[in-house]
Amino acid sequence: MELPTQFKAKYQRLLGAQFPAFLQSFAEAPQHGFRLNPLKPPAHPAIDQSRPISNVPNGYYGKVDGKSPAHQSGYVYSQEPSAMLVAEAVAPAPGERVLDLCAAPGGKSTQLAALMQNQGLLVANEIDRGRAKVLVENLERFGVWNPLILNERPDRLSPAFPAYFDKILVDAPCSGEGMFRKNPSATTYWDADYPAACAVRQREILQAAVKMLKPGGQLVYSTCTFAPEEDEQIIAWLLDQYPLELVALDKSAGMSDGRPEWADGNPELQRTLRLFPQSFAGDGHFIAKLQSTATGKPVKIRGQRSNVGGADRKEWQQFVAQNLTDFKAGSLLQFGEQLYSFNPEIPDLQGLRVMLPGTPLGTLKKHRIEPSYGLAMVLRPEQVQRTLPISYEQWQRYVHGDIFNTDAELPKGWYLLLYQQMPVGFGKVVNGTVKNFFPKGLRFQVEKG
């Protein structure tokens, strides 16, 4: 890889004796990692779990196949190893209100949901609509319960959530220097002024984020860049401008302290965490955790109300009685023909660009409900009255969108399809044929080998 001349000169000056090892790290292959999903019912996907990642429960080094049953069913999530440490730094507790402000593609949001044990409120926001669609797909596949997924600018979010969140994660858009190994083309648009330009946008995002943090709440800021302008200097600015203090982060082998000398010399900046690829088996990353020292009480806001009428509510209750066991959706919300379960703590959604208000339950048809893929992804087999184990070949046909036959003489109705005990979606059995309801936008072909 050919690194920009000014980039090399900058880090030779900053790193001194560490620079040769830093430079050599760019010639090495990027690390791959994945997380197992604790939100899913017990199963044993055939994945090598022999190389755990330090400080990340359920995190492992290795590469997973994005067209495998374990991936499609949400049992595994592919994620770069260094990035996994960010959600661990947030450390959300079950029941808290948590915001992932720059959330796509969803790796950190899914990890936050797992740490929250699907309890509380997770709001995931992404300003880019195309990336927000990917965010929806990943949280749905992972089985995240009642997430609120938005497509908004941070400054439009802050009036809707004043002093609201217990924890906020800002994984800020940055110059991406730490990802050069993974994405060498990023070096082509880097120049010496790029980090400073990114820092302007990062300050704007953080100004909105601080307004949404409740007194005593915690803010985690992270980047995938080495640039001091976007790392220590941003934290020094936050400490100067707002009632915040740094919280020390646990560091294990290969993890480095932040560099006060790269900002204003404040020794507190050593509490931040740096990951250099010559020291840690992962890409470059920076993480800082801050706590609000502001006083006052959280602002009470009006919660979203259910808008589901009696007839549609009755259709849903009938579907549950005929198909599910020991399943409670809670509050119901209707967007068009779609029926959702939602967290009533969320604010009135009017005026916000909503990608997903909660967990999709199904599509309202005439006198019936067609269950959603999102519902299948949150269910456990014991919560469904009818399940159907399928073979690998049948799974291949299912994710391609094809119908397939079943050998057993099964009653007509909805079945949760299971591959090796992993729920993969709903099918409808009619006269020995399994009609396919895998979402059209998610379908793919698995190469036969």
Annotated binding site for S-adenosyl-L-methionine: 102-108, 126, 171
Q: Are 125 and 352 in contact (CB under 8 A)?
A: no
CA distance 284 to 227: 10
- φ/ψ (deg, to 5) at 378: -100, -10
Mention every residue, 6+ apart, whose C-beta is less than 8 A from residue 9.
none
Q: Which residues contact 170 (CB under 8 A, 6 or more apart)?
A: 101, 102, 202, 205, 206, 209, 219, 220, 221, 222
Tell me if 399 sits within 8 A of 444, measured CB to CB. Answer: yes
- Measured in whole angstroms, the distance separating CA 434 from the mean position of its chain's CA atoms is 32
Residue with tokens 């994405």: 183
Q: E strands, 51-95, where?
A: 59-61, 76-78
Q: How many beta carbons lie within 10 A of that of residue 188, not counting itself?
A: 9
Burial class (CB in 10 A: 0-12, 13-18, 19+), 254: middle
Helix ranges (H only) for 373-427 are: 373-378, 392-400
Q: Which residues are annotated as a binding site?
A: 102-108, 126, 171
Among 426, 385, 429, which residue's Cα sits nearest to residue 406? 429
Task: State how beta strands 213-223 and 165-171 pair.
Answer: parallel
Largest CA distance in the chain: 74
In the residue annotation, 224 being an active-site residue is answered as: yes
Distance CA 260, CA 151 (A): 35
CA distance 204 to 234: 11
Q: Are 385 and 410 in contact (CB under 8 A)?
A: no
Take residue 447 and report the two structure tokens written for it. Answer: 């190469």
Among candidate residues 160, 170, 224, 399, the one labeled active-site is 224
Strands (E), 102-152: 121-125, 148-150
276 C-beta neighbours (distance < 10 Å), count: 21
Task: State the catalytic residues.
Answer: 224
